[in-house]
Amino acid sequence: MTSPSSATLIIWAPSDPTLLSYIDNMGTKFDISLLKLSESVEYSDTIQPACLPPAGLILSHNTACYVTGWGNLQTNGPSPDQLQQGLLLVVDHATCSQSDWWGKTVKTNMICAGGDGIISSCYGDSGGPLNCRNSNGAWEVHGVVSFGSSLGCNYYKKPSVFTRVSDFNSWISKTIASN
């Protein structure tokens, strides 16, 4: 991954350290959470709300997206001094769920991206966004880093796996409205 252009760092603390996590009616916990901030955020040219994709949207194979994070620069490597970003191409579910890729581990509420053996998310990137441009050129948060290969980062045919945000739009809206 590479470092995006420099920007001023602003930190907001959560108002409650408890994560608002999605748990279905069967008690299954999914890898997506929301935090409520302790103070309001003032929007500016550099601070904007995250845009969500349309509910249920499934990205096409080879859609170009960017993962960003503070995770290790390589397997067992150092953490970066600056936020990193990496260009990843989406791998469709039919390919990613093949036995020599992720097999049955990957579910339809997940996105696979990468798997070229060169660029991926890495240890410490969990919870970071997978951002993709929509047809109007606006950035949308399509995924949340969930997991990668235990064999190491940047492993061929083991793309980074993300929770698919468009599968949780209703929960996100209801949670924000009630909190």
Domain 50-167 fold is Thrombin, subunit H (2.40.10)
Residue ranges of alpha helices (H) inside the chain are 93-96, 169-178
Provide the percentage of residues in the chain whose pLDDT is more than 90.
69
Q: 35-49, 62-76, 128-142, 162-176 — which is least confidently predicted? A: 35-49
- The C-alpha atoms of residue 78 and residue 92 are separated, in whole angstroms, by 31
- The C-alpha atoms of residue 149 and residue 136 are separated, in whole angstroms, by 34
For residue 65, what pLDDT band results from cuts at 50, 70 and 90? very high
> Where are the domains positioned within the chain?
50-167
Contact status, residue 67 vs residue 85, Cβ threshold 8 Å: yes
The pairing of beta strand 20-23 with beta strand 29-34: antiparallel
Judge whether residue 47 has pLDDT over 90.
no
Cross-strand pairs, 33: 21
Per-residue confidence (pLDDT) for residue 10, from 0 to 100: 75
Contacts within 8 Å (CB) and 24+ apart, 33-40: 33/127, 34/172, 34/175, 34/176, 34/179, 36/179, 37/12, 37/13, 38/12, 38/13, 38/14, 39/12
